[in-house]
Amino acid sequence: MNNKFQKTSSTSDSYRDGGNKGGIVIVDYGAGNIQSIKFAIKRLGFDAVLSSDTEEIKAADKVIFPGVGEAGSAMKMLKSTGLDKVIPELKQPVLGICLGMQLMCRHSEEGDTEGLGIFHADVVKFNNGLKVPQIGWNRIYDLKSNLFDGIKEQEFVYLVHSYYVPECAETIASTEYGVEYTTAIQKDNFYGVQFHPEKSSDAGEKILENFLKAPNPEKKE
């Protein structure tokens, strides 16, 4: 596989706070609750660093791309730091969570925002008379990825969102909320989950662990 980003001098950055043995980087591009993801990773026995440094992100073994606030302003923050160019080129496993997953799509109705274009899907708003945002626990089914190893069909996960990704060829889990839609999506090394694995009890932690243990084809053994 063609590797555009050789791990060179920047490798040391991801090890800078000591115990980051797995080289897990959580992309930090603004306010919001991203500590919870770090804490969940720690409960699983791994360490993660928060970083907005493009070199550090490129050098990571695993990248977690969380969601923060509103799509339009989040994209602006990504553009201002150059992360909008870096993320789609990553070769290691990348997990987008909530808005992170939505930003990895082509377009979002929220603020008429152009996304990173990784997933071949467009994000639209719930418009079916049900409560918006959807807040709470709902079921995931039609599970189609090793991300869900050890997870049973119809497992409950915690969701908070007003916009959704319709079902598409890249869907690896669905949920029903007035409409059947994508709650997890995968293309090559890119994964996205609409739910919050870090807040979805034991099942969520298992999904997060599956991602953290996913093989990294770029890693030199």
Window of 28-36, 56-64, 75-83, 181-189 that interacts with another protein by CB under 8 A: 28-36
Q: Which is nearer to another protein, 200 or 210 (CB)?
A: 200
Does 168 help bind another protein (rule: CB under 8 A)?
Answer: no
Given 14, 165, 199, 209, the residue binding another protein (CB under 8 A): 199
Window of 1-9, 57-65, 155-163, 166-174 that interacts with another protein by CB under 8 A: 155-163
Contacts with another protein, 110-139, as mask; x by CB under 8 A: --------------------xxxxxxxxxx
Show Cβ contacts of residue 66 under 8 Å, excluding neighbours closer than 6 positions. Answer: 26, 27, 32, 34, 37, 96, 97, 98, 99, 100
Does 186 help bind another protein (rule: CB under 8 A)?
Answer: no
- Sign of the CA dihedral running 63, 38, 46, 208: negative
Residues taking part in catalysis: 98, 196, 198
Binding to another protein (CB under 8 A) within 34-93 occurs at 35-36, 39-40, 42-43, 68-70
Window of 80-88, 100-108, 184-192, 202-210 that interacts with another protein by CB under 8 A: 202-210
Least distance (Å) between residue 172 CB and another protein:
21
Does 162 help bind another protein (rule: CB under 8 A)?
Answer: yes
Given 32, 77, 107, 218, the residue binding another protein (CB under 8 A): 32
Sequential DSSP letters for the chain: ---SS---GGGGGGGTTS--TT-EEEE--SSS--HHHHHHHHHTT--EEEE--HHHHHH-SEEEE---S-HHHHHHHHHHHTHHHHGGG--S-EEEETHHHHHTSSEETGGGEE----SS-EEEE--SSS-SSEEEEEEEBS--SGGGTT--TTEEEEEEESEEEEP-TTEEEEEEESEEEEEEEEETTEEEESS-GGGSHHHHHHHHHHHHTS--TT---
Given 205, 213, 216, 218, the residue binding another protein (CB under 8 A): 205
User: Which residues lie near another protein (CB under 8 A)?
Assistant: 31-33, 35-36, 39-40, 42-43, 68-70, 130-139, 156, 158-162, 176-177, 196, 198-202, 204-205
